[in-house]
Amino acid sequence: MSLPLLFVDELRGFYKSKVMLFLWVGLPVIAILFRFVQVTTTGQEISFTVISTLIVSSLAGTLASVMLAVSIINEKNRHVYELFLIRPLKRRDILFSKYLSVYLCVAIASLISVLVGIVTDFAMGGTLSSAVFDSLGQSLAISFSMIAIACAAGVLIGIVSPSVLVGAILVIYGGNQISVVPLLPTLLNISYADLFTVGLAAVTATVLLAIAVYAFNHKQF
């Protein structure tokens, strides 16, 4: 079974990449800076935890999508995959390993940002009400769902795009738009919105990945 091997391998490559460095460190820093801007410009204190989660949702998904698409396009164009494809492994495992490793890295980076938010709120003398935790749960569900779809879109765009430029355009105009699908249950006020959010994300990500795998399986190198 090559998937676990490839997954650990990709994880090793991604977690110390420059983009991930930005996610590990830059995201919490931006979130903290954003809090002070928010305070001075509006004079209204809102839970920093929620702010962090909102920032994570928008930034992390985009970065994950761009990171995957660019990585796949580059490796494809440099013929890196040839050395993998001549070995006894399933082509889909290459894509799944990339998807899972980036998803895991970005999800952890998101959690770190949220934890920084909680700690900052607590350190600034605020108390963490149960309402904050309720909204935090929903925000995390949306955030992780958006990242899941963004990663799947990144994989698909990486496979079908001939160049990094085309890939970047597709991520901005396609990947970003489709990753807001998990917001629909909340916007439409559906009961059990969290469950629907996760379910919708799972279905959308699966469909996008299935198309990517089909395209990759039929690709001639």
Nearest in space to 72 (alpha carbons), one of 157, 137, 142? 157
Tokens representing residue 191 in the block: 């009961």
CA distance readout (Å), 213 to 94, 143, 159, 219: 9, 25, 9, 10
Query: Does residue 1 belong to the site contacting other proteins (CB under 8 A)?
Result: no
162 binds other proteins (CB under 8 A): no
Binding-site string for other proteins from residue 39 to residue 78, where x marks contact by CB under 8 A and - marks none:
------------------------------------x--x
Q: Angle at Cα 102 formed by Cα 98 and Cα 107, nearest 5°?
A: 150
Looking up tokens 């004079």 gives 43
Q: Indicate whether 115 belongs to the interface with other proteins (CB under 8 A).
A: no
| 89: contact with other proteins by CB under 8 A | yes
Applying CB under 8 A, the span of 20-28, 33-41, 85-93, 199-207 interacting with other proteins comes to 85-93
Give the residue from 55, 50, 6 showing the smallest Cα distance to 30.
Answer: 55
Interface with other proteins (CB under 8 A), residue from 40, 43, 86, 188: 86
Report the interface residues with other proteins, using CB under 8 A.
Answer: 2, 5-6, 9, 12-13, 16-17, 75, 78-80, 82-89, 220-221
